[in-house]
Amino acid sequence: MNDVNPELLSLRQSIDNVDAAIIHMLAERFKFTQHVGRLKAANGLPSSDPAREQVQIERLRELAVESNLDPEFAEKFLNFIVAEVIHHHERIRNGDDEIVADPSDDAEDA
């Protein structure tokens, strides 16, 4: 049934499209946060900003409810991403951010 059911195949195609969009959106987001990380390191600012995160969490929880998505899930998802961002910022601060591939950053810095 799995390989031949046209409805299932079509739904999975749509799921794959959404997954690709999520990856592209995350890549864009990480480009901006990498830039923020460099800005913070250059200005001696702390990697994390809990007050800013709290505002983001409240906003995303509201958006989630409006979209029939579990607000707990939205908060966990944001926290997961922000933890990775802060990890990147620490690496930038330590002069060790080469691991995060971002060709556009290389072009900007050249």
Binding positions for ligand ISJ, rule: CB under 6 A: 33, 36, 48-49, 52-53, 56, 81-82, 85-86
As a whole number of angstroms, the distance between CA 84 and CA 30 comes to 9
Nearer Cβ to ligand ISJ (17/79): 79
Task: Find how far residue 102's CA is from the centre of its chain.
Answer: 14
Q: Report, in Å, the least distance between residue 11 CB and ligand ISJ.
A: 31
As a whole number of angstroms, the distance between CA 45 and CA 38 comes to 10
Nearer Cβ to ligand ISJ (31/48): 48
